[in-house]
Amino acid sequence: MKFDRNTVIGIALLGILFIGYFYYTNKEQQKYQAKKNEAAKIEKARQDSIALVNKPKEDSIRKVRDSVNRITNAGVFKAGADTVAKEISIENKLIRVTFSTLGGQIKKVELKNYKGQDSNWVKMGDSKFDKLSYRIKTGNSSEETANLNFAKIDSTTANGNKTIAFTLMGDSSSGTNYITHEYTLKPDDYMIDFNVKMQGADKMLDGGMMNVTWQYAAKQQESDLSYERQNTQMGFVEDGEFDYHTIGRKSSKEFDEPVKWVGMRQRFFFGIIAAKDKFTGGSKMEWDDSPDSSNAVVQSTANLKLQVPAGSPSVVGLNIYYGPSDYTILKNYNLKFEKLINLGQGIYAFVRPINKYLVMPIFDFLKGIAGSMGLAIALLTIFIKLITSPLLYKSYLSGAKMRVLRPDLAKLKEKFGEDKQGMMMEQMKLFREAGVNQLGGCLPALLQIPIFFALFSLFNSDIDLRGQNFLWASDLAAYDKVIEFGFNIPLLGSHISLFNITAVITSFFISIYSMRNAPEQDNPVLKYMPYVFPIFLLFFFNNLPSALTWYYTVSNLITLGLQFVIQNYIINHDKIMAQIEANRKKPKTKSKWQERMEQMQEQQKKMKEIQQRNKR
């Protein structure tokens, strides 16, 4: 197809016109969109201005509506609709309790002997979530007492006891009905007595039943929030029996039987509500370990039923405890509070008596004379090593005998080669002739297991360790932060504890020393396990309290010293050799277990020989 000159010029002109058209159209669309956006901004600004102008009106309307609702819900307790709350505090040597007239309840409790993360007194029960309330009928409506203002305040002091009372008065249409919340704080006591006095309880409560709601948010008090959560538990006494739940495993508990108290222990601090009589069955407790608040360990809500006794006025007795989870303090209340202290729980419950009757009394004594917690732990370690030293000596004696028998074991290995069964039988015979107990070296290791778990539980729950510094550790109740990476390493975290390193290194030295005295192993797992174990400790111990890794370090150092002294200055190897030779000459009697074992090994040997013949 041929194009003349005019055709080409025409096509070019049309192309230019199309390009110009699209260019112009695009520019006009951009201008239109810009004007539209500008108009939208102006409209939004206008709407915002209108909203800003109307906001006071809306706020005023909302305030009026809320005020009407409060007055309506307050019913015959119109004075309680006042939202202007007052705060008042009472204190003793241990705590300062601040109350609010709104709800006639505790606003916060400050513990004078303990410092929080902000270096001020530890505060408990002071979040917006915390409340203690129950619903009452107010005439034609109902309301939670936490929303009513107990404006009338009375305070007295008698025999060192400080009492403060908040009263919610009914109007003339209610007769003489009123509610009084009376709190008494005794000298040198964390427990707060709480009495609810109700005149006209039959008109305010259905069937004389008070449905109490106790909300408590345990705030973070320690440096490691995740570890604090791991050591937080909900406890209660139902039908006279204590029980507990670790958070994360369950999230609620319904009570079919009467309940004496419910509480939450967040490692070192304890919040409890207890009935002077009992909460009835049908009560319930729920908790959330993933609260919205970033500094909350867990939030719990207890819905507790109380049968209000008849009377004029009717009096309901409660106790509230906000304080340390100190075993001695809690035990003195004789309400089984102390059972929630982890001295050994669950599968480790077998170590609880060790802590109660042995370790704790000795440790408490050493705390009083040592001058520092770190030194007290070192002295406790020495004491534990002293009482276990007889078994330790037997272990080293057994190891020395094994070392003497090494040449004989080498000959047996050369003789039997790959015949493991024959080697085992002859080895047992050699040990029996020499009077060597193969399990003799295991007893001290087995004994260390309950002691370690006892101290693991104790050092995680002993509040006396909290905030105590020693050497480079600023808090023996937490890991030391000498070496921090600034980034996270899987299984290790963002730090490495220096006490953890000393524990691992000393464990490694013990492994080296012990393997020198042990018979050679053909099994590579058994051969290298003693060297692998200290590496495992590096990861396992890294987040544990410095008190525990310091104890382990001291224990290892003492063990190394004892090994050296016993092996080089106490155990006489020539005497052992002579004793072994004498034992070999004595007639041997086999136990029934040894006879059965040898019979079994003999049968296995014969079966193996038959299998080998069949293969041929």
Q: Which residue has better confidence, 195 or 83?
A: 195
pLDDT tens for residues 29-47? 666 667 667 667 676 766 6
Give the strand order in the sheet containing 152-158: 152-158, 161-169, 178-185, 191-199, 314-324, 269-279, 259-266, 232-238, 241-246
Q: Is pLDDT larger for residue 561 or for residue 532?
A: 561
Nearest alpha-carbon partner for 165 in 147, 153, 178:
153
Picking from 377, 346, 381, the residue whose alpha carbon sits closest to that of residue 364 is 377
Closest CA relative to residue 454, chosen from 355, 592, 328: 355
Tokens of 38: 């500008």
Which among 18, 171, 194 is positioned nearest to 80, based on CA atoms?
171
Mean pLDDT of 42-58: 62
pTM value?
A: 0.76
407-416: pLDDT as tens digits = 777 777 777 6
Average pLDDT value for residue range 188-199: 94
d(C-alpha 46, C-alpha 57), whole Å: 17
**Average pLDDT along the chain:** 81
Average confidence (pLDDT) over 569-598:
64
Please report where in the chains the tokens 């993360």 appear, as a residue: 117
For residue 605, the model assigns a pLDDT of: 65
pLDDT of residue 487: 76
Residue 346: count other Cβ atoms within 10 Å of its Cβ: 8
Instruction: Report pLDDT for 588.
Output: 56
238 and 257 in contact (C-beta within 8 Å)? yes
How much of the chain, in percent, has pLDDT values that exceed 70? 69
Tokens found for residue 65:
């509506």
Residue-wise pLDDT tens digits, 211-249: 999 999 988 888 888 888 888 989 999 999 999 988 877
* End-to-end CA separation in angstroms for the chain: 95
Dist. CA 273–CA 194, nearest whole Å: 10
Encoding tokens for residue 243? Answer: 């029980």
Q: Which helix or strand (DSSP H or E) is residue 275 part of?
A: strand 269-279
Residue linked to tokens 């008109």: 203
- The owner of tokens 């006071």 is 56
Quick one: average pLDDT of 573-599? 63
Strand, helix or coil for residue 215: strand
Give the DSSP H/E element, type plus range, for residue 10: helix 5-74
What are the tens digits of pLDDT across the range 284-315? Answer: 999 887 766 667 888 999 999 999 888 788 89
Percent of the chain with pLDDT over 90: 33
User: Range with the lowest mean pLDDT among 71-85, 345-359, 500-514, 595-609?
Assistant: 595-609
Q: What is the pLDDT of residues 517-559, one digit of tens each?
A: 555 555 555 556 666 777 888 888 888 899 999 999 999 898 8
Task: List the single range of 126-135, 187-196, 362-371, 426-435 with lowest mean pLDDT.
Answer: 426-435
